[in-house]
Amino acid sequence: MLRTILATPIAVAVVAAGLTAASPSSPAMVRSAASTFNYGEALQKSFFFYEAQQSGDLPSWNRVSWRGDSTRNDGRAEGVDLSGGFYDAGDHVKFGFPMAFAMTNLAWGGVDYRDTYASSGQLQSLRNTVRHGMDYLINAHPDPNTLYVQVGDGTIDHSYWGAPETLEARAQLMDFPRPAHKITASCPGTDVAAETGAAFAASAMLFAPTDPGYADTLLGHARQLFTFADTTKGGDGRDTAYVNCVPAASGYYTSTQEGGQNAGATKMYWDELAWNAVWLYRATGDATYLARAREFYPKMGSQSDAGGGSAAVPAYSYGFGWNDKQYAVYALMARLTGEAEYATDTQRYLDYWTVGYQGARGEYTPGGLAYMFYWAPLRMAAYTAFVALYYADHLGPEDALYHRYHDFAKRQIDYSLGDNPGDHSYVVGFGTNPPRNVHHRGAHGSWLNASATGEPATNRHILYGALVGGPDATDAWTDDRSDFIGNEVALDYNAGFTSALARLHGEYGGQPLASIPGETPDGDEIYLDRTTINSDSRGTSMQVFLTNTSAWPARVLDRGSFRYYFTLDGSTTAAQVTATSPYSTCQQPTGPTQHAGEVYYFTVDCTGTLSFPGGRSEYRREVQLTITSGGQWDPSNDWSAPAARYLPLYDGGTLIWGEEPTIAR
């Protein structure tokens, strides 16, 4: 059971240690002068981004008008419901490692800055988002030693540029599997098990004040996953990394590779174990977990001291991120224990990225961005900014180091919001000249499956709140949809950024919008095009294209049909008029069927032919229709003759486009 003291926004262990949480009324959060940016609006929109990433049956509170239910069969072949959760980035794979990390960090912001979330009006959005992710992770953990860590295959998924709502239709037409990958006791994954355990523990703290039953469920999973990770771990920090058992994750979220040649990117799983243990200690107050965190702490990774000498010191030259938790563990341990060792390690890391450490300082762009890694540098800066704010609040504003770390953090977040050499925001739908053409299949709204460079030229949807990867080392950046390094978005990009925004809102304020602007379709979404090939006294022939460019949301039409209405001429009988399709992706026409009086129609039934915005043939189904009369034929008085709009289109018998006859022409 979670202890009742968790109803406060700080952990049991912190209270026991005599430390206090920062809140809007505490000395560390004295409201400052007005900020250049509206942190309340940015925070509000960040949660909209997470709603745009949702998989499965969308909850009633989802505000994204251009999203619909999707991938509802994920996990069914394995006997588990993995339909929920979040898509990782601009693609549609569900990677458990960064998803769990994002949930841990969103929950962390809510645990330590609950009051600021409440004052911003975004506390319910936070809880909704985290619960959606944790419900998925509960399903992904069906027994103590089994954890599903990925749904989908990156190579296969990346071969298709279409909306998530069309993935299962795509799979019906060709080999497009969405396998579910798991770790078990016989083939473990220490890193992902421990990270997921941390997500459960942090989220348990978030929900304890309002839903203790759910919090207890989360905490049970947290304990089991820590035990799973701990009892199946190897010995060198890499040997039981999950990619050894889930090679499909290799090249995407490989914990033994991220960080390049930076000595501070330690590429081991000891930091995940310490991270999991710290969060369990916070959630339970059980000193056993603190002892385990101390055990793992010195194994997390070290590097040569910038001051010279042979002694190594804990890593300091990289940054907090999905694969490098040690930097956050430093700050958590410093605040939980008050011990100098952990404070020293935290300050070495933060000094390296502010004033420098022992003469060495982290790389910066000319415009002031702490440039920790070339791939999505804004997310790295945002995570370190949140650690800096968290630690500064622990020190308090009277401490000489407070403003060093606080001001660094604010500067990094403000860079993303628009205080940069380009004078533009890096957050979609926020601020001045924000990104629009992000590398994101759903937001693009394309119907051609022609890659990021295909039509339309401009994304049809605004992916409000999404933080893009960011500039290169010279502050250069372009809003280029094909740039998946600088202009993609991802679950983990936004999580640390969101928590930092919440903290800054507590200090500087900022009003959210009354509502996030809605969208309306940019034209007809499912409709018919028609070209008349020939029309004379013997009949009419035409090409009809059932066209599906739907994007509000993308939809699959599998029971479509359309009708051609005509009027009998002179003494011609209905039996003398026939219709055929020399070429058709649908069924042969049926009829004629009497509508009223001398008005009849032929029906072309496309049931079973999938029409969806997912490729040149999939979005545009062709029917060649030839109508022949054995009597008189004068199309000038036929309802359907003038334009395609007069060939009404149906979905299962319900009119969805076009016009039915009102009078005979």
Q: Which residues are catalytic?
A: 91, 439, 444, 479, 488
The rounded distance, in Å, linking the Cα atoms of 312 and 306 is 9
* Spatial contact of 9 and 26, defined as CB atoms under 8 Å apart: no
Beta bridge partners of 244: none
3-state secondary structure of 461: coil
**Residue 619, phi-psi category: left (phi > 0), alpha (psi -120 to 50), beta (remainder):** alpha
Question: Angle between the 123-139 and 96-112 helix axes, to the nearest 10 degrees?
Answer: 140
Question: Which residues are within 8 A (CB) of 136 and not within 5 positions of it... i.e. 6 or more apart?
Answer: 55, 56, 82, 84, 85, 86, 94, 99
Question: Exposed, middle or buried, 143 (CB in 10 Å: 0-12/13-18/19+)?
Answer: exposed
* Spatial contact of 64 and 443, defined as CB atoms under 8 Å apart: no
Distances (CA, A) of 174 to 156, 160, 168, 191: 11, 11, 10, 34
Joined tokens for residue 22: 């920062």
Joined tokens for residue 257: 């590779």
* Spatial contact of 186 and 240, defined as CB atoms under 8 Å apart: no
**Which of 306, 320, 404 lies closest to 361, judged by CA?**
306
Beta bridge partners of 579: 627
Distances (CA, A) of 431 to 198, 387, 410: 34, 25, 16
Question: Which residues are within 8 A (CB) of 364 and not within 5 positions of it... i.e. 6 or more apart?
Answer: 370, 371
Looking at residue 539, the DSSP 8-state letter turns out to be E
* Spatial contact of 59 and 47, defined as CB atoms under 8 Å apart: no
Number of C-beta neighbours around residue 380 at 10 A:
28
| Torsion angle in degrees (nearest 10) through CA of 464, 470, 471, 472 | -160
Looking at residue 611, the DSSP 8-state letter turns out to be B
The rounded distance, in Å, linking the Cα atoms of 75 and 93 is 13
Question: Which residues are within 8 A (CB) of 87 and not within 5 positions of it... i.e. 6 or more apart?
Answer: 53, 54, 55, 93, 94, 164
| Torsion angle in degrees (nearest 10) through CA of 144, 149, 152, 157 | 170
**Which of 182, 181, 287 lies closest to 228, judged by CA?**
182
Buried b (16+ CB within 10 A) or exposed e, 112-133: bbbbbbbbbebbebbbbbbbbb
* Spatial contact of 516 and 44, defined as CB atoms under 8 Å apart: yes
C-beta contacts of 590-594 below 8 A and 24+ residues apart: 592/566
